[in-house]
Amino acid sequence: MFDIKWIRANTEAFDAALSRRKGIVTRSADLLAIDDRRRDIIVRLNEAQEKRNALSKQIGQAKAQKDEAKAGELMAEVARLKDTIPAGEAEERAVELELRNALSVLPNIAFDDVPDGTDEAGNVEYFGRNGSPETAAKLRAPRPSFAFAPKEHYEVGVAANGNMDFEIAAKLSGSRFVVLKGQVARLERALGQFMLDLHTNEHGYLEVQPPLLVKDDALFGTNQLPKFEDDLFFAPHGDGRLALIPTAEVPLTNMVRESILSEEELPLRLTALTPCFRSEAGSAGRDTRGMLRQHQFNKVEMVSITTPETSVDEHERMLTCAETVLQKLGLHYRVMNLCTGDLGFGAKKTYDLEVWLPGQDTYREISSVSVCGDFQARRMDARYRPTGEKVSPRFVHTLNGSGTAVGRCLIAVLENYQQEDGSVLVPEVLRPYMGGLTSIGGR
RNA sequence: GGAGAGGUGGCAGAGUGGUCGAAUGCACCGCACUCGAAAUGCGGCGUGGGGGUGACUCCACCGUGAGUUCGAAUCUCACCCUCUCCGCCA
């Protein structure tokens, strides 16, 4: 969410930046018109309140001196304000809500180095700071070659033989659910444990087990509300509701909401392995086969809370943390710098990691790493107190990234490590989590 | 779920109708002392929003929301949360 004062001081920059965003017609003039009205109301209200306070103080003094006549006189005078103050307060509340509503549906401004574009075709491959295709290739596994036609994940023997069961899941829960069994279930678990251990042991993240059900306020903080309500599942609760988290970004980021951290606590790096729940309301008919797009999936999420000065560096660092997962698993992938048309609502810049799926013969998103600036911090009221002379609190910056989507990573392992006989080799880093197994689904 | 206690500034903790945005302590910042540090002394130090070129000034905020009152941190009601005890329970 934007600061109206900043908009007022930077109308041209604001309008130019917003015009890069798809489908946004709001301009600074629309917002400043509301703000002008707001300020008028505040000025009038403050004048009335000031008068009331002054008279009330005089009444107190008059009463203290037992001057009842004067007190009565003053009370009559203040009585005339009785209606204007509550009315003014109501007006102020209304116009402030109007401004908040107008601001809360506006997406964040993209950094200058985000490419322009209308959809994913405008995304630009990224090889890291000072990187090149050559330096990237040294770190990443090459695309695997097969002596046979590689299958899609749900066709690979070990999955197709009943360990990835969509029929039973449909009986239990309908479409877009899956039941994993046996060694495929174990492989899924191994992947999650591996990622979590990597981020906690080697990347300095604090492991968190957050609630999976959250309040509307938390969803507002991380931009799911008010615009993306349709993507969520809700559970009735008391007179209200709780939402099933669509990503652990919601509880992890909101852990700092409505608080003032000290600078020494930053950067705060949090990670969690949680199920995620998405209604996929807008994706009817897309990716209906297999477990690529599910209502429920596991994901390891990373969240960083930083100072404004360090958030851009932290973004690169977080990207590296996510890449390390795929590098250690020996999975081929590429990194895309998302263009303005593909950029998420709250992001100033996003890198997508796309893993190679030989069965599909294409790259698919497996991680998304975003820097949000103070956009979410404003919505959450999350600040920190800088060390040193400046004591006035500032908004923190927030970042989030998947590290990575476990369900999709399972797909990637099944497709990339599949053997002609339908078995699947276990990547070396996962073997400790698989009781030493080097392969699953063999005879 | 039942009974009781309580929610006040970064933290702890006073404050039961007016001069309280709020004592005090800790933390923090500046200065002094010191070779330096500690200790000590002095001073400063909440958040948000208006107005003013500025010095400055006004308004709101004591869990949240209503209410009583000329005036509410303080009184009333509802709700939320925390703690203690009991019950139930993975």
Q: Where are the domains of chain A?
A: 4-104, 120-440
Catalytic annotation present for A367: no
Instruction: Compute the distance between CA of residue A191 and CA of residue A207 in angstroms, rounded to an integer.
Output: 16
Given this model, what pLDDT does residue A260 score? 85
Given this model, what pLDDT does residue A390 score? 58
Given this model, what pLDDT does residue A405 score? 97
**Beta bridge partners of residue A270, listed in sequence order:** A206, A303
- CATH homologous superfamily of domain A120-440? Bira Bifunctional Protein; Domain 2 (3.30.930.10)
- The answer to whether strand B lies under 7 Å from the CB of residue A60 is yes
Catalytic annotation present for A98: no
Catalytic annotation present for A368: yes
Q: What is the dihedral of CA A373, A267, A377, A26, to 10 degrees?
A: 10
Closest residue by Cα to residue A155 from A297, A291, A294: A291
- The answer to whether strand B lies under 7 Å from the CB of residue A264 is no
- The answer to whether strand B lies under 7 Å from the CB of residue A76 is no
Using the predicted structure, report yes or no on whether residue A46 has a pLDDT greater than 80: yes
Rounded distance in angstroms from the CA atom of residue A388 to the C1' atom of nucleotide B27: 13
- The answer to whether strand B lies under 7 Å from the CB of residue A94 is no
For A383, left (φ over 0), alpha (ψ -120 to 50), or beta? beta
**Beta bridge partners of residue A425, listed in sequence order:** A439
Given this model, what pLDDT does residue A87 score? 86
Rounded distance in angstroms from the CA atom of residue A380 to the C1' atom of nucleotide B2: 36
What's the mean pLDDT in A239-258? Answer: 92
Share of chain A above pLDDT 70, in %: 99
Q: Are A210 and A248 in contact (CB under 8 A)?
A: yes
Rounded distance in angstroms from the CA atom of residue A103 to the C1' atom of nucleotide B43: 43
For residue A389, what pLDDT band results from cuts at 50, 70 and 90?
low
Q: Are A307 and A263 in contact (CB under 8 A)?
A: yes
Cis-peptide, bond into residue A107, ω within 30° of zero: no
Catalytic residue among A176, A186, A269, A278: A278
Given this model, what pLDDT does residue A443 score? 65
Give the per-residue SS3 of chain A. Answer: CCCHHHHHHCHHHHHHHHHCCCCCCCCHHHHHHHHHHHHHHHHHHHHHHHHHHHHHHHHHHHHHCCCHHHHHHHHHHHHCCCCHHHHHHHHHHHHHHHHHHHHHCCCCCCCCCCCCCCCHHHCEECCCCCCCHHHHHHHCCCCCCCCCCCCCHHHCHHHHHHHEEHHHHHHHHCCCCCEECHHHHHHHHHHHHHHHHHHHHCCCCEECCCCCEECHHHHHHCCCCCCCHHHCEEEEECCEEEEECCCCHHHHHHCCCCEEEEHHHCCEEEEEEEEEECCCHHHCCCCCCCCCCCCEEEEEEEEEEECCCCHHHHHHHHHHHHHHHHHHHCCCEEEEECCCCCCCCCCCEEEEEEEEECCCCEEEEEEEEEECCCHHHHHHCEEEECCCCCCCCEECEEEEEEEEEHHHHHHHHHHHCECCCCCEECCHHHHHHHCCCCEECCC
What's the mean pLDDT in A56-64? Answer: 83
Using the predicted structure, report yes or no on whether residue A115 has a pLDDT greater than 70: yes
Rounded distance in angstroms from the CA atom of residue A40 to the C1' atom of nucleotide B56: 21
Backbone phi and psi for residue A348, each to the nearest 5 degrees, phi listed first: -95, -25
Give A303-353 pLDDT, tens digit per residue.
999 999 999 999 999 999 999 999 999 999 999 999 999 999 999 999 999
- The answer to whether strand B lies under 7 Å from the CB of residue A172 is no
Rounded distance in angstroms from the CA atom of residue A293 to the C1' atom of nucleotide B62: 49
Rounded distance in angstroms from the CA atom of residue A46 to the C1' atom of nucleotide B61: 15
- The answer to whether strand B lies under 7 Å from the CB of residue A4 is yes
Catalytic annotation present for A68: no
- The answer to whether strand B lies under 7 Å from the CB of residue A57 is yes
Residues 128-157, chain A, CB closer than 7 Å to nucleic strand B? none
- Report the relative pairing of strands A362-371 and A349-357 from DSSP bridges: antiparallel
Mean pLDDT of chain A: 93
- The answer to whether strand B lies under 7 Å from the CB of residue A392 is yes
Given this model, what pLDDT does residue A66 score? 75
Q: Are A309 and A394 in contact (CB under 8 A)?
A: no
Instruction: Compute the distance between CA of residue A257 and CA of residue A221 in angstroms, rounded to an integer.
Output: 8
- The answer to whether strand B lies under 7 Å from the CB of residue A261 is no
Catalytic annotation present for A278: yes
Using the predicted structure, report yes or no on whether residue A117 has a pLDDT greater than 90: yes
Q: Are A221 and A380 in contact (CB under 8 A)?
A: yes
Instruction: Compute the distance between CA of residue A11 and CA of residue A94 in angstroms, rounded to an integer.
Output: 24
Instruction: Compute the distance between CA of residue A41 and CA of residue A32 in angstroms, rounded to an integer.
Output: 14
Residue A193 amino acid letter: Q
Give A64-86 pLDDT, tens digit per residue.
777 788 888 888 888 877 778 88
CATH class for the domain made up of A4-104 = mainly alpha
Strand B contact nucleotides, protein CB < 7 Å: 10, 18-19, 28-30, 45-51, 58-60, 70-71, 80
In Å, how far from its chain's centre is CA A141? Answer: 28
Instruction: Compute the distance between CA of residue A69 and CA of residue A63 in angstroms, rounded to an integer.
Output: 9
What's the mean pLDDT in A265-272? Answer: 93
> Is the ipTM reported for this complex over the cut 0.85?
yes
Q: How far apart are the first and last CA of chain A?
A: 57
